[in-house]
Structure 1
Amino acid sequence: MATTLSEAYRDYPLNLHHIIPLDFSSLRTLPETHAWPQSEDAHHHHHDGSGSCIPIIDLMDPNAMELIGLACENWGAFQLKNHGIPLSLVEEVEEEAKRLFALPADRKLKALRSAAGATGYGRARISSFFPKHMWHEGFTIMGSPCDDAKKIWPNDHTRFCNIIENYQKQMKLLAEKLTQMILTVLKICEDEKGWIGSSELCEAVQLNFYPCCPEPNRAMGLAPHTDTSFLTILHQSQTNGLQIFKEGAGWVSVDPQPNTLVVHTGDILHILSNSRFRCALHRVMVNSARQRYSVAYFYGPPLDYVLSPLLLLTPFPRFRSLSIKDYIGIKAKNLGEALSLITTTQN
Structure 2
Amino acid sequence: MVIDCSIPVIDFRDFPAQSAKLVQAGEEWGCFRLVNHHDVLPVSLMSEMKSVARSLQDFPPEIKWQNTDINPGSGYIRPSQANPLYEAFGLYMSCSEDVDVFCSQIKASPSQRETILKYVEAMHELVVEISGKLADGLGISGFSIEGWPCLFRINKYNFAQETVGSSGFQVHTDSGFLTIVQDDEGVSGLEVMDRSGAFVPVDPCPGALVVNLGDVAKAWSNGRLRTVKHRVQCKEANPRYSIAAFLGPKGTVEAPPELVDDEHPRLYAAFTFEEYRNLRFSTKLQDGEALNLLLIDP
**TM-score normalised per structure 1:** 0.75
1:113 deviation in Å? 5.2
* Structure 1 residues 207-236: Cα deviation after superposition (integer angstroms, max 9, x where no partner): 100122333355211111111121100001
Pair 1:58-2:6 in alignment: no
Q: Write the distance in 1 (CA, Å) between the matches of 2:25 and 2:204.
A: 17
Q: Write the distance in 2 (CA, Å) between the matches of 1:252 and 1:315.
A: 30
Amino acid at match of 1:264: N
Matching of residues 303-314 of structure 1 within 5 Å? 304=251, 306-310=252-256, 311-312=259-260, 314=263
Q: Write the distance in 2 (CA, Å) between the matches of 1:316 and 1:176.
A: 28
Q: Write the distance in 1 (CA, Å) between the matches of 2:104 and 2:122.
A: 23
Pair 1:263-2:202 in alignment: no
Determine which of 294, 297, 302 is the counterpart of 2:242: 294
**TM-score normalised per structure 2:** 0.86
Match of 2:162 in 1: 215
Q: Percent identity?
A: 28
Pair 1:206-2:148 in alignment: no
Assess, with a 3 A threshold, how the Cα gap between structure 1 residues 170 and 341 changes in structure 2: closer, same or farther.
same
Assess, with a 3 A threshold, how the Cα gap between structure 1 residues 272 and 121 changes in structure 2: closer, same or farther.
same
Two-structure CA RMSD over aligned residues (Å):
2.3
Determine which of 82, 88, 94 is the counterpart of 2:44: 88
Q: Write the distance in 1 (CA, Å) between the matches of 2:67 and 2:179.
A: 24
Amino acid at match of 2:56: L
Q: Write the distance in 2 (CA, Å) between the matches of 1:70 and 1:240.
A: 26
| Equivalent position SS for 1:123 | coil
Match of 2:110 in 1: 158
Amino acid at match of 1:211: N
1:326 deviation in Å? 2.0
In structure 2, stretches of 5+ residues that fail to align are none
The answer to whether the Cα contact below 8 Å between 1:228 and 1:266 also exists between their aligned partners in 2 is yes
1:89 deviation in Å? 1.1
Name which one, 1 or 2, has greater alpha-carbon Rg.
1
1:321 deviation in Å? 1.0
Determine which of 98, 112, 125 is the counterpart of 1:173: 125
Pair 1:229-2:176 in alignment: yes
| Equivalent position SS for 1:268 | helix
Q: Write the distance in 2 (CA, Å) between the matches of 1:175 and 1:245.
A: 23
| Equivalent position SS for 2:45 | helix
Assess, with a 3 A threshold, how the Cα gap between structure 1 residues 57 and 119 changes in structure 2: closer, same or farther.
same
Match of 2:274 in 1: 325
In structure 1, stretches of 5+ residues that fail to align are 1-50
Amino acid at match of 1:203: C
Q: Write the distance in 1 (CA, Å) between the matches of 2:162 and 2:130.
A: 39
Q: Write the distance in 2 (CA, Å) between the matches of 1:331 and 1:253.
A: 26
Assess, with a 3 A threshold, how the Cα gap between structure 1 residues 133 and 301 changes in structure 2: closer, same or farther.
closer
1:166 deviation in Å? 1.7
Q: Write the distance in 2 (CA, Å) between the matches of 1:148 and 1:93.
A: 15
Pair 1:244-2:196 in alignment: no
Determine which of 53, 68, 93 is the counterpart of 1:97: 53
Assess, with a 3 A threshold, how the Cα gap between structure 1 residues 137 and 322 changes in structure 2: closer, same or farther.
same
Q: Write the distance in 1 (CA, Å) between the matches of 2:154 and 2:56.
A: 9
1:91 deviation in Å? 1.1
Amino acid at match of 1:158: P
